[in-house]
Amino acid sequence: MNIDTSVISSINSGGAAAKSASQSAELRDSFMTLLITQLKNQDPLNPMENAEMTSQLAQINTVNGIEDLNETLNGITEQMNASKMIQASGLIGNAVLVPGNNVKVNIDDEGNSYATPFGIELEKPANSVEITVRSRAGEVVYRNEVSAVSAGVESFQWDGKTNDGEALPAGDYRVSYAAKDAEGNEISAQPLNYALVEGVTPQVKGQEVRLDLGAIYGQVTLNQIKQIL
């Protein structure tokens, strides 16, 4: 007579999220009841082998171990989520670089132009990077070439003026890059734009903690923050 393995399957397949502690305890009690019943009703001429009993007892111990492990993992996950929330909250009010190609030109009280920072993320070092800024209509208003740019994230500052030194009108512009290695081969380049963290949206089921960057840039996750300015 063998113990009904559906009890074990039920415990293993349910998981910590699907069953309460009381339900798990009931399943363990059912397992032990079946084991005791098997011992009482076994054939005296063909009793259960010690190895078989040890194996079945090991199964229930394994179930207990899985439940304990699930509880530990759930605790670790909760701590990680709380840590992410604290980390995200600490970014409120900070300027960051996130994926995007927007550059905003502003004019101060004295009539001087200045632009928000922008950046680039390179998968490997570039021998040269050509920076091109265009108006919303697609007109090139500024171009510059930077040499020896390291892999990873690099930020740039621009005064909001054309190559001839003329101040551009306030508004939104677009930046693009052409990165090349020493052999002249193109390198993948991710444009990054400036944004201000205005708030944090707590983590909900199935989603990460999200940072609110305002109406223009929407929300991003922590791993989309490439640099804190």
Residue 151 binned pLDDT confidence (cut-offs 50, 70, 90): very high
Phi, then psi, of 3 in degrees rounded to 5? -70, 140
Residue 214 counted as domain residue: no
Same domain, 108 and 79: no
Domain match, 107 and 42 both:
no
Alpha-carbon distances, residue 209 vs 52, 85, 205 (angstroms): 49, 6, 10
> Could you tell me which of 116, 118, 120 has the C-alpha nearest to residue 190?
120
For 149, the domain range is 99-193
227 within some domain: no
pLDDT at 21: 56
Are 104 and 171 members of one domain? yes
**What CA–CA distance (Å, rounded) separates 107 from 112?**
5
Distance of CA 29 to the CA centre of its chain: 41
Q: Contact, 196 vs 91, CB < 8 A?
A: no
Inside any domain, residue 213: no
Q: What is the mean pLDDT of residues 91-116?
A: 93
pLDDT of residue 206: 63
Q: Does this model's pTM top 0.75? A: no
**Domain assignment present for 129:** yes
Domain membership flag for residue 212: no
Q: Is residue 35 located within the same domain as residue 12?
A: yes
- Distance, in Å, from the CA atom of 153 to the CA atom of 164, rounded to the nearest integer, reads 28
**pLDDT tens digits, residue range 26-48?**
666 776 676 677 666 665 655 55
Query: How far apart (Å, rounded) are the C-alpha atoms in residues 91 and 19?
Result: 38
pLDDT of residue 4: 47
| pLDDT tier, 95 (very low <50, low <70, confident <90, very high otherwise) | very high
Residues 180-218: pLDDT tens digits?
A: 999 999 999 999 999 999 998 876 666 788 899 988 888
